[in-house]
Amino acid sequence: MDKREVQLILKQLKINPNKKLGQNFLIDKNIVNKIISFSEISKNDVILEIGPGLGALTEELVKYVKKIYAIEIDYRLFSYLDEKFRNFDNIEIIYGNVLELELPFHTKVVSNIPYSITGPILEKIFFKNKPPIGVLMIEKNIADRIFFSENSKNYSRISVNTNAFVNPVSRSTISRMSFYPIPKISLSLIKLVPKTEINSFLMEKDSIAYFLRFIAGIMPYKNKNISNALDIYFKALTKRKYTKEEILMILQKNNYENKKLLNFTPNELIEISKVFYS
């Protein structure tokens, strides 16, 4: 699909791209091919596509895979796609909000996702035991945080959470000119693969939920010493669980130096959340 084709279909469907829904459609065939090659797809793959839009990526994926589930929130695009892929039996177009639906079984997520809900999408799909492989077009700023380098300003909540469940293996910066309309933000194509072994603390829903709350509560204070960050976090809870003295004692007992939070690796932070959970 090139720019003219996308513009023409949008005109026929009387659709003005909706900024809130992140409607920036792919118009560069080379990028579609790049996504396909990043995805290393095979005839055994069951793909989840979030936000298929006009189907620029979908129409290529459908040629190579066992099944695609494509979830689209915009009813006009959903109807267009439902008609477009009427004669294919390996695709199901689903109308709805990816964040609200129960997701069908899938082995890979391949998507140019709605950029404004990247965090919630990552949380729903990847922050769990045995996540799928992901090939995602996301905001470059978020990719920088996922592919953080040690002690950098990019180290943040999303760095810790993502790296707890998956290994970010490759990334590529993508020109904004590859989309219509041209997005305001820069974009990156990233590939995430499940960790061969995730920390045993992150096997259960309850402990995962605790870990995610814990990291969300402390990472805004990443430039503080860990005891201060933890103290702020526990103070803010309705029922305070640990005093500052207890925090210091627990850290010492478990041989954690009271250094800046950003100097702890994701795995150390998982272990620390486990200590405070129990």
Rounded CA-CA distance 106/126 in Å is 12
| Separation in Å, CA 274 to CA 156, 164, 235, 248 | 19, 13, 19, 16
Is 23 near ligand SAM (CB under 6 A)?
A: yes
Rounded CA-CA distance 68/64 in Å is 10
Is 162 near ligand SAM (CB under 6 A)?
A: no
Q: Is the peptide bond before 181 cis (omega within 30 degrees of 0)?
A: yes
Q: What is the CA radius of gyration of the chain?
A: 21
User: Looking at beta carbons only, is 158 or 189 nearer to ligand SAM?
Assistant: 189
User: Looking at beta carbons only, is 186 or 228 nearer to ligand SAM?
Assistant: 186
Is 122 near ligand SAM (CB under 6 A)?
A: no
Q: Which of 41, 61, 65, 73 binds ligand SAM (CB under 6 A)?
A: 73
User: Looking at beta carbons only, is 141 or 225 nearer to ligand SAM?
Assistant: 141
Is 266 near ligand SAM (CB under 6 A)?
A: no
Is 123 near ligand SAM (CB under 6 A)?
A: no
Is 51 near ligand SAM (CB under 6 A)?
A: yes
Is 114 near ligand SAM (CB under 6 A)?
A: yes
Sites for ligand SAM among residues 80-109 (CB under 6 A) = 97-99
| Separation in Å, CA 36 to CA 55, 61, 112, 122, 137 | 14, 7, 12, 20, 12
Q: Which of 5, 7, 15, 21 binds ligand SAM (CB under 6 A)?
A: 21
> How many CB atoms lie under 10 A from the CB of residue 187?
24
Q: Which of 47, 56, 189, 261 binds ligand SAM (CB under 6 A)?
A: 56
Is 35 near ligand SAM (CB under 6 A)?
A: no
Shortest Å, Cβ 57 to ligand SAM:
5
Closest to 250 measured CA to CA, from 267, 272, 266, 228? 272
User: Looking at beta carbons only, is 74 or 231 nearer to ligand SAM?
Assistant: 74
Is 71 near ligand SAM (CB under 6 A)?
A: yes
| Separation in Å, CA 117 to CA 21, 114, 120, 155, 273 | 9, 6, 6, 20, 26
Is 138 near ligand SAM (CB under 6 A)?
A: no
Piece in contact with ligand SAM (CB under 6 A), picked from 20-28, 163-171, 204-212, 240-248: 20-28
Is 57 near ligand SAM (CB under 6 A)?
A: yes
Do residues 142 and 161 touch, judged by C-beta distance below 8 A? Answer: no
| Separation in Å, CA 190 to CA 45, 168, 174 | 18, 7, 10
**Dihedral (Cα; 210, 211, 216, 218), 10-degree rounding:** 110
Shortest Å, Cβ 78 to ligand SAM:
9
Do residues 127 and 161 touch, judged by C-beta distance below 8 A? Answer: yes
Contact positions toward ligand SAM, by CB under 6 A?
21-26, 50-54, 56-57, 71-74, 77, 97-99, 112, 114, 117
